C-alpha cells in the first residue's frame, strides 16, 4: 500500500482564490442598482402597479418620449368636393348604389337592349337605326301571338297562320311572344326558332326589322316585328346580299 501524502480529501477549488487575485477579476456588486429608467417609464410602471392599464394607455406609455415623424400632408386638407378629381368617384359610386336600389325595388333603369338576351335584325335595304326605334316603341303594335306552351312544330304552324293573317290585313307592327327559354336545357328553342323564321325563312321578304320588346311588352321573351306593305323583290334582296339580316 502507498504511503499517505498527508492531505485530507479532494480540494478542487483550493487555488481559485489565488487565481482570482492574480487576474484581478471584479465581480459586479449586487447592491448596485441597474440603469435608472426614464421618468416617463417610472410613471407608467407606477400607474401599472396601481391599476390594470387599457390597450390605449399601454400604447401611450410605450410611446412616451417618441417624436412623431413630420407628415407631408396638410392639416387643413379637405376631402375633394363634387366635380373635383376624386369627388367624381364618390358621386358616381353613390349614384350607382341609388340606381341599383331603384332597379331592385321597381325595375326602373333596366334596359333589355343591354342584356345578352336582346336580339334584333333588319331586312334588306333598311337602315340599322330602325331596330333602335322599333325596340324603343316608336311603332304601334296592332296584333300579337303567344307561342308559350307549344312545341317547336306547333309554334311553327301557329306562326305561319299568324303571319299570313298579318300581311293579308296590311298590319305593320306585330308582337310575337315566345318566352325567354329559361326552362330549356340548352338554348331557348322557341326564341331561336322565331329569329330563324324572321331572318332566313320565307317571311324574311316581308320583314323590315325585328327587335326584342320593351319590359312592359315581355322584354327578351317577346319580339317586335315591323312588316312591309308588299314583299321585297328578289333583285332588291340580291343587292343587299351579304348584309346581316
pLDDT tens digits along 99-142: 555 555 555 555 666 778 899 999 888 898 999 999 999 999 99
Q: Are residues 194 and 143 in the same domain?
A: yes
pLDDT at 165: 96
For 192-213, how does the pLDDT look when each residue is reduced to its tens digit (9 = 90+)?
Answer: 999 999 998 889 999 999 999 9
Residue 161 lies in a domain: yes
pLDDT at 158 over 80: yes
Confidence category of residue 245, pLDDT binned at 50, 70, 90: very low
Residue 6 lies in a domain: no
Q: Are residues 125 and 189 in the same domain?
A: yes
| Residue 211 β-bridge partners | 120, 224
pLDDT at 25: 47
Q: Are residues 137 and 227 in the same domain?
A: yes
Mean pLDDT to the nearest integer, 65-87: 58
Confidence category of residue 154, pLDDT binned at 50, 70, 90: very high
Question: Angle, to 10 degrees, between the axis of helix 55-62 and the axis of helix 39-50?
Answer: 160
Q: Are residues 195 and 159 in the same domain?
A: yes
**40: how many CB neighbours lie within 10 A of its CB?**
15
Q: Are residues 203 and 140 in the same domain?
A: yes
The span from the CA of 218 to the CA of 176, in Å, is 10
| C-alpha distances out from residue 175 to 21, 75, 92, 166, Å | 116, 64, 38, 11
Q: Are residues 93 and 192 in the same domain?
A: no
Residue 170 lies in a domain: yes
Q: Are residues 134 and 171 in the same domain?
A: yes
For 77-105, how does the pLDDT look when each residue is reduced to its tens digit (9 = 90+)?
Answer: 555 555 455 555 555 565 656 655 555 55
Residue 184 lies in a domain: yes
Residue 77 lies in a domain: no
**203: how many CB neighbours lie within 10 A of its CB?**
19
Confidence category of residue 181, pLDDT binned at 50, 70, 90: confident
Q: Are residues 99 and 188 in the same domain?
A: no
Residue 32 lies in a domain: no
Structurally, how many domains does the chain consist of?
Answer: 2
End-to-end CA distance of the chain: 128
Q: Are residues 125 and 92 in the same domain?
A: no
Q: Are residues 97 and 158 in the same domain?
A: no
Query: What pTM, to 2 d.p., does this model score?
Result: 0.54
Residue 13 lies in a domain: no
Confidence category of residue 244, pLDDT binned at 50, 70, 90: very low
Q: Are residues 97 and 133 in the same domain?
A: no
For 2-60, how does the pLDDT look when each residue is reduced to its tens digit (9 = 90+)?
Answer: 455 555 566 766 666 776 666 654 555 555 555 566 777 777 667 666 666 677 777 77
Q: Are residues 106 and 193 in the same domain?
A: no
Residue 222 lies in a domain: yes
Residue 92's SS3 state is: helix
Supply the CATH number for residue 169's domain. 3.30.1370.110
What is the extent of the structural domain holding 196? 115-239
**Burial of 114 by CB count in 10 Å (0-12 exposed, 13-18 middle, 19+ buried)?**
exposed
pLDDT at 222: 95
Amino acid at each position: 500500500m502507498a504511503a499517505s501524502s498527508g492531505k485530507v480529501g479532494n480540494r478542487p477549488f483550493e487555488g481559485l482564490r489565488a487565481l482570482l487575485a492574480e487576474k484581478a477579476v471584479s465581480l459586479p456588486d449586487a447592491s448596485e442598482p441597474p440603469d435608472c429608467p426614464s421618468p416617463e417609464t417610472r410613471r407608467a410602471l407606477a400607474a401599472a402597479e396601481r391599476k390594470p392599464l387599457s390597450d390605449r394607455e399601454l400604447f401611450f406609455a410605450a410611446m412616451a418620449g417618441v417624436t412623431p415623424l413630420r407628415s407631408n400632408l396638410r392639416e387643413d386638407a379637405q376631402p375633394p368636393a363634387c366635380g373635383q378629381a376624386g369627388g367624381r368617384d364618390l358621386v358616381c359610386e353613390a349614384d350607382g348604389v341609388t340606381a341599383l336600389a331603384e332597379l331592385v325595388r321597381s325595375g326602373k333603369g333596366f334596359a333589355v337592349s343591354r342584356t345578352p338576351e336582346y336580339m334584333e335584325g333588319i331586312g334588306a335595304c333598311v337602315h340599322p337605326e330602325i331596330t333602335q326605334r322599333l325596340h324603343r316603341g316608336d311603332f304601334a303594335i296592332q296584333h300579337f301571338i303567344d307561342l308559350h306552351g307549344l312545341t317547336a312544330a306547333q309554334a311553327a304552324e301557329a306562326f305561319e297562320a299568324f303571319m299570313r293573317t298579318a300581311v293579308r290585313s296590311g298590319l305593320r307592327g306585330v308582337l310575337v311572344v315566345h318566352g325567354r327559354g329559361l326552362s330549356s336545357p340548352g338554348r331557348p328553342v322557341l326564341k331561336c326558332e322565331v329569329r330563324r323564321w324572321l331572318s332566313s325563312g320565307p317571311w324574311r321578304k316581308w320583314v323590315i326589322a325585328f327587335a326584342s320588346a320593351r319590359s312592359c311588352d315581355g322584354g327578351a321573351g317577346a319580339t317586335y316585328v315591323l312588316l312591309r306593305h308588299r314583299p321585297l323583290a328578289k333583285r332588291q334582296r340580291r343587292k343587299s346580299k351579304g348584309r346581316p339580316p
